[in-house]
A and B are shown apart, each in its own frame.
Chain A
């Protein structure tokens, strides 16, 4: 078992490193003299300002911009391993603290979206399977298909149009109380809910067909017990497997949802920093997201391991 964990962890770690290098390389492709950009953006606050050569050199000194690329990456890596992810070109604050300060908002949104989608998808998926081909089944599957095809940014806009502007029930955007959370959580969770619902349904259908369920019924076990004890637990397995994929959509989705709703999380930080070409922050964000994603995937892998006893005996 330890071997299993060790192997997965090693892969996760490798992946994070590779991602950081990949991102660093990609970011180095950004054209334009960065020293000039820093002066214009950070010091003067005016993109039309034209700095002198002396100003450029002074700025390059401050930000270590003169060194070759691989050296810059090693500097960065060394610092990162010591907890220093660099400083934002725009705010002058440490990248790590900028990220950590926004982390709770993203986590809050992600958890809300996940809970919302599970709370809707799991029961509905199960009911759809149990009442196969009924009206409920068709309606849920139809809406699932609907939401999978729907772009989440469009959903967000439509929700704002309906609930904030037209009906005036909820705030348009911003971070704050529960009513600020509702629309973003729905927007983020809708796609996930749809996929989970469909998966749940097909997985429950499969489990229902299995022999030991028939046996349990023959034995006279209470239908409800069957559902909860056997069916649910076993049907959840593929759902959790797919959870890893879902996380990807979730993290990617926060970028869009946070932008639409001005939600101060990491996704919005990433977009803002890409717009502002705040390279240290982009690097930090991407690596951080990679770490989170790998960690969560690792957890999913491990929980899968515990849930499905068959894995224990498979050669990994």
Chain B
């Protein structure tokens, strides 16, 4: 009768053969990870240049920060673009869309009436609003010379008749120095 074979935990003592990394203790792993005499794999993140970079961005953004926000452009107005332009100036804004005229967001006339009349005319509502603005400015700034500057935001499809009527009305109301707001094309101009 043959003997029952021993299971794997009850093998007779024998000299072990060659085994891969059998003799490697855990210390070796630790040594390997920490560099093992070579360059360490631990890295210091260079925070100081990063902070310098952030500070530069902050200073640039602070320098270009505008507390007054974006120039108010009526959402119904698509402005044309031009090359030979001047920088924007602070002045009352008159928006001229396909249907209405707005002064600083407040309705001040209808463009359809001008188109239907088919002749150059003074826009009475706009005239009154601009005249009141001018008188208010003079009351707030006594003794100062009034510049008479107004900025027109005119939609690119508006007809020249409407533009000329608004231009003339602004001049009659004491704003002869009219500027048209446009997008900037290229880098020319003063």
A binds B: no
